[in-house]
Structure 1
């Protein structure tokens, strides 16, 4: 295959697929997951705290808030910023539900002119429509939505918040990284099998060079006997021919390493799960939820989505160590439920927020 042995081609294919999946999940998907988690964390803050982070990010660019410049705007708060002779009007709209349209941009552009500012920055945790962006460029207004805002305010966010966001993102992509590694190894095995099957059956084997045979001593030249002399009684027997050793049959390569056996076992288990019918999958999910509900620390457990199990807890204490470990130990017995998400509902009346955990 392409001039390579099946084993070398399989190693190259598996390594290339692994590097590609590592970049996709470890860099691209991780960056997206961290951005989404960062936007959710900002939305959970009070608007004053989030606006303070935005002002710190603008201060990094050299802008300083003018005294007594804060005033209520269209669903948010406006700040007049100064940078040398430049006056910039900043409007911050809190919440991820905002969808900035052309009307928002026109109203803000009018406010920029009324304040005597030379430029404007319209910030929201939500998103902006395409036509609104085109109109903003015409009015010299900078639109910053949630996905572009998070990288700017991340350096000023609390360290504990950053750690939680990165840990949450790592849990989200861990499943994809595992699947990518298994599929990379499976691709290597497939390439090896195809390469072995496509090799010509009658491929010439390297010639075996036989060791040179020892020279056979030459028979003495018989002399013509004289008249009346008797002929010699015996003659020298010819040496037996030397046979070349038969070439040894090449041994068939076999994988004996632990990684290959583990990959084969994982593929077999995934294949068994794929054979299940929808009714069997539903029954397994109900059995798993029932087992979780029987835990001493749980009142009830129901599936809200295909991948989220809502658990009503007896107590709000020990969320991360008690019920999570017990529930995940049950779910990991089912291959299709191994990476389920747990929604932990505290008892009514307890001042404990709802939390989510990911089984690994």
Structure 2
């Protein structure tokens, strides 16, 4: 029972940890991925208007008049500024962008030519590591991928935002169901493994209890008497005893077997069947078992059932010390 309680606690802990990770981390990553895909699917004019609105509300930047009014509608680069100065904003619209140093240098040069303090590069794609290093030298701020999503997510149209959040939650719930099944499986395996390990471990306390149970007090040695041994005890046993005597013989055999190293117990299942629980090898124990059994002529032909050792995959063996 204790092993299954531990298995339940293990499964519950794994499930809670997996759920927290899937909901707090994986769900947000999926939400960002889907959100960037939704932004990339927008028309570039809609995307530019979204960028302008975000920069205006979050940084207080206003769109500045372009030098060429007619070309502004088709241009993805536009100036924005406030009292502190002016910046040239460049929108690279699309997930496929992998921007390097060339585009950063170009934006930095264009910003200087227009008299701006620097540039702001905005893209749903990625700027590589070298591009980020050059951006610091060119006074270009990079807002790509993960940096862009937190800025633009509050300005998504309601239907797109709802679709993105629903899909991310659905994805997280599916993964949580899988995590629940995996946690249950892990707990089940842990419980079964713990029980198997307990069975495989030797039980010294039980063996000692069996070995020391009902010790036979040695008979006092008198003058002229000899101490009984298996050899002379066999000669004094009745070949056909009554029921009470036979029961006493069986009890003596059980106690004697319990004192053999490697034998846990000897239990009489029937008049002719003796079941032996063991922890040692059969070949090493069998001579000692037969020495005890054959000391009683009335029991010498009984069947001995040698049970498998705990935790060992082996069959039950049947043997007989003597035949008629």
Give the TM-score band, short-chain normalised.
0.5 to 0.7
Q: Which ranges of 4 or more aligned residues in structure 1 deviate by more than 6 Å? A: 69-73
Q: Establish whether residue 18 from structure 1 lines up as the match of residue 15 from structure 2.
A: yes
Aligned partners of 1:185, 1:201: CA distance in 2, in Å?
29
Calculate the TM-score normalised by the size of structure 1: 0.52
Q: Secondary structure at the match of 1:181?
A: helix
Q: CA deviation at 1:38?
A: 0.7
8 A contact 1:122–1:141 mirrored in 2:
yes
Give the match for residue 173 of structure 1.
Answer: 172
Aligned to 1:141: 140
Provide TM-score, normalisation by structure 2.
0.57
Q: How does 1:74-85 map to 2 (within 5 A)?
A: 77-85=76-84
Residues in 1 aligned to 2:42 and 2:79: alpha-carbon distance in whole angstroms: 23
> 1:78-157 residue pairs with structure 2 within 5 A?
78-157=77-156
Q: For the structure 1 residues 137 and 190, does the alpha-carbon distance in structure 2 shift closer, same or farther, using more than 3 Å as the test? A: same
Q: Secondary structure at 2:111's aligned position in 1?
A: helix
Higher helix share: 2
| CA deviation vs aligned residue, 1:207-233 (integer Å, no higher than 9, x gap) | xxxxxxxxxxxxxxxxxxxxxxxxxxx
Structure 1 residue 203 displacement after superposition: 8.1
User: Which whole-Å CA distance do the structure 2 matches of 1:70 and 1:26 have between them?
Assistant: 49
Are the structure 2 counterparts of residues 108 and 9 from structure 1 closer, same or farther at C-alpha, using a change threshold of 3 Å?
same
Query: Counterpart in 1 of 2:62?
Result: 64
SS of 1:67's equivalent? coil
Tell me: CA distance 1:142–1:19, structure 2 relative to 1, closer, same or farther (3 Å): same
* Distance (Å, rounded) in 2 between the aligned partners of 1:38 and 1:81: 25
CA distance in 1, matches of 2:82, 2:195: 70
CA distance in 1 between counterparts of 2:15 and 2:37 reads: 31
Decide which structure has the larger Cα Rg and report it.
2
Shift of 1:10: 1.0
Contact 1:100/1:127 (8 A) holds in 2: yes
User: How far is the alpha carbon of 1:146 from its aligned partner?
Assistant: 2.6
Distance 1:98 1:69, change over 3 A: farther
**Residue in structure 2 matched with residue 182 of structure 1 by the alignment:** 181
Match of 1:81, SS state, is strand
How far, CA to CA, are the matches of 1:191 and 1:63 in structure 2? 60
Question: What is the match of residue 197 of structure 1?
Answer: 196
Q: Deviations over 1:250-277 (max 9, x none)?
A: xxxxxxxxxxxxxxxxxxxxxxxxxxxx
CA–CA separation in structure 1 for the residues paired with 2:19 and 2:51: 33
Alignment deviations for residues 146-175 of structure 1 (CA, whole Å, 9 cap, x no partner): 332122101111121111011222333333
In structure 2, distance between residues paired with 1:137 and 1:100: 15
**Does the C-alpha gap of structure 1 residues 167 and 70 become closer, same or farther in structure 2, counting only changes over 3 Å?**
farther
Give the gaps of 5 or more residues in structure 2.
207-324
Q: Where does the alignment leave 5 or more consecutive residues of structure 1 unmatched?
A: 206-360
Cα shift at 1:81: 1.4
Contact 1:119 1:140 in 2 (8 A): yes
Alpha-carbon RMSD: 2.4
